[in-house]
Amino acid sequence: MAQRKNRTDRRLDLIEAARRAIIRHGIDGVQLSHVAEEAGLTSGAVLYHYPDLSELLVEAHHAGMERFYEQRLRRLAMVTDPVAKLVMTVRSGLPTGPLDPDVRLLNELGGAAGRNRMYGVLLTSLYDRQVSMYQSILDTGSALGVFRLTAGSLTIARNLVALEDAYGYRITARHPIIGPDEAAELILSYARSATGNDLHH
């Protein structure tokens, strides 16, 4: 007999179902019935766990954003070399391909941010945290004499995150000659100029 899922597991399942529903129907088109269908539940069962659908949609987006900050920080904590950290951070900030669900979710969020203040706040928070992540790497590398920064670390960090976003969008838009590897190299070419380091490790 299958073990009954506890409340936490069920909520995690619903967050994942909401993510799939958003990708399939768009943030403005997703409805309670879509989430229920993805989860294999009734609409009433979804409402039992999330009486407010908008709360579930926000949680679904937050789960998608974890990869681009919390998971990257955990990986960076295992590396000490600023060069390796910078290259790793650039490569881990891009989609794996056009169908990358986390990035498609963020694209949906970005499209709705102008109409929904909460989504705008979420995206701004993610951007600011990513900038601080890059800035910390740049400041450490500069203090160690590994990087010779051509501008302030905040400026370079903001540009790196903006490049991530721009090339990430190109990848999900199926640009014929810009995939994850090409995008990483384009971003790293800027990083090399900005840090005065060839970024080989």
pLDDT given for residue 149 in this prediction? 98
pLDDT given for residue 5 in this prediction? 67
pLDDT at 3 over 70: no
pLDDT given for residue 130 in this prediction? 95
pLDDT given for residue 201 in this prediction? 63
- The single-letter DSSP state of residue 196 is T
Positive or negative: CA dihedral 126, 63, 74, 178: negative
pLDDT given for residue 4 in this prediction? 57
Of the chain, the percentage scoring pLDDT greater than 90 comes to: 68
pLDDT given for residue 95 in this prediction? 94
User: Tokens for 6?
Assistant: 């506890």
pLDDT given for residue 170 in this prediction? 94
pLDDT given for residue 84 in this prediction? 97
Cα distances from 39 to residues 6, 8, 33, 45, 188, in angstroms, run 15, 15, 10, 10, 40
CB 133 within 8 A of CB 69: yes
Does residue 183 or residue 1 have the better pLDDT? 183
CB 81 within 8 A of CB 147: no
Read off the amino acid at residue 42.
Answer: T
pLDDT given for residue 2 in this prediction? 43
Please state which of the ranges 28-37, 78-87, 138-147, 154-163 shows the lowest mean pLDDT: 28-37
Query: What is the arithmetic mean of pLDDT over 22-46?
Result: 92
Query: What is the arithmetic mean of pLDDT over 21-35?
Result: 90
Angle between helices 82-92 and 180-195 (to 10 degrees): 140
The per-residue pLDDT for range 93-143, each reduced to its tens digit, is 999 999 998 888 888 888 888 888 888 888 899 999 999 999 999 999 999
The closest of 70, 55, 136 to 102, measured between CA atoms, is 70
Tell me the C-alpha distance between 7 and 170, whole Å.
Answer: 39
